[in-house]
Chain A
Amino acid sequence: MNLAIYCAATWMTDERAEIARGLRRRDPSVLDRLIEQYQHRLFRYLVYLAGNRSLAEDLFQETWLRVLERGRQYDGKSPFETWLFAIARHLLIDTLRRKSPASLDALRDPGEGAVLWEPPAADPSAYELLAGREQEAQMAAAVAGVPAVYREVLMLRFQEDLALEQIAAVVGAPLSTVKSRLYRGLSALRQQMERSPS
């Protein structure tokens, strides 16, 4: 058991070091692989954070360009996704500041008719597909109703399974703030779900 943990830890460290070396060299094959590997996680984070699919798509491209340009800053000591999410977060904040001096809370409402999440693709029957889509739409609405600062940490904790320390590194906030946001976010999400017709 201990050997397995040791091997896994060594492998992760090696992988991080390899990523750091590739980014320092600006190796296109490493970047291609990283984009493939982290495409869904990064995009999901951006959609959750921005609450706006179109903005998330723009920021997705910008984030990878920033990774290329600032790749030398990644030292390989922390997980790559923590660094990646932090870059994406800064880009979003910069974008919002340029557009208007709004905080992340301003992104709370995605707007009428906005589609943030797609329904599941392959259910066996038409009825199940429809039911699944309806349920998913309700869940998406409930999640979208949670303020962005809470939605962000909830997503990092429960969908990305990041440790609390890693979340603190991404959002640039003390651990106590992260915990407080998680508790409040859970409460807000529960309230939203109780409100939604199910």
Chain B
Amino acid sequence: MNPDVHQRAQGLIAAALVEGLPASEQAWLDEHLPGCPACAQSAAATRRAIEALRWVAVSADPALVQATQQRVRMRTQELAERQERWLPLAVSCGLATLVSLVTLTYLWQGFAWLGEQWSLPALTWQAGFVSAWFLPTSLAAVALWMQSRSATNGNRETVHWVPSVGPRRGER
């Protein structure tokens, strides 16, 4: 028999499993295999290899599954609480920004008037304006950063689980 025929058969054996074969190719292979012990043996070996994959049982430990469910529930609660905290904060920040923008010119004029009243150099009252403008925001940012850090440290808590002993049947 032509060696190319066997090569074609080998290719088709794998292709049938990986992506399926057109009917004509499948018919050719079905006709070839009974008359060719070498290719039939190769097909059987490939089938055994696939069965090996399916036969090996792997299953998750019930304790691991329970611990995971518990951890996910805890995290769900944390995320919900965080969302509850952040929503009013975001609204407040938005409002504060709006008010600051609206009052910006008045604040500038107020500092300019104070500087004039107290005969301060322009750089001094301008520095005062910048401080007044940025200080509350900076303090709020630092406070929020510290709060988020403590929340993150709290989230690192792990739910431990103890593997159960004994054989388990693989399930799907």
* Chain A positions near chain B (C-beta within 8 angstroms): 26, 28, 31-32, 35-36, 39-44, 47-48, 57, 60-61, 64-65, 68-69, 116-122, 136, 139-140, 142-143, 154-155, 157-159, 164, 179, 182-183, 186-187, 189-190, 193-194
- Residues of chain B touching chain A, judged by Cβ–Cβ distance below 8 Å, are 14, 17-19, 45-46, 48-50, 52-61, 64-65, 67-69, 71-73, 75-76, 79-80, 159, 163, 167-172
- Evaluate contact between A57 and B61: CB separation under 8 angstroms: yes
Main secondary structure of the interface of A (DSSP, over half): helix
Residue pair A183, B18 in contact (C-beta under 8 Å): yes
A121 touching B53 in the complex, CB below 8 Å, given contacts A31-B72, A35-B65, A190-B46: no
How far in angstroms is the closest Cβ of chain A from B171?
5
Known: A122-B169, A186-B14. A193 touches B49 (CB 8 A): yes
Q: Which of B17, B69, B76 contacts A186 (CB 8 A)?
A: B17
- Identify the interface centre among B19, B45, B54, B60: most chain A CB within 10 Å of its CB: B60
Q: Which one of A36, A60, A179 contacts B64 once the chains associate, using CB atoms below 8 Å?
A: A60
The contact of A35 among B14, B56, B57, B72, by CB within 8 Å, is B72
In the complex, which of the residues B68, B75, B79, B167 contacts A118, with contact meaning CB atoms closer than 8 Å?
Answer: B167
A-B contact pairs, 17 of them (CB 8 A): A26-B76, A28-B73, A41-B172, A43-B59, A43-B64, A57-B163, A64-B72, A69-B75, A117-B57, A120-B57, A120-B170, A142-B49, A143-B53, A154-B53, A183-B18, A189-B49, A190-B46
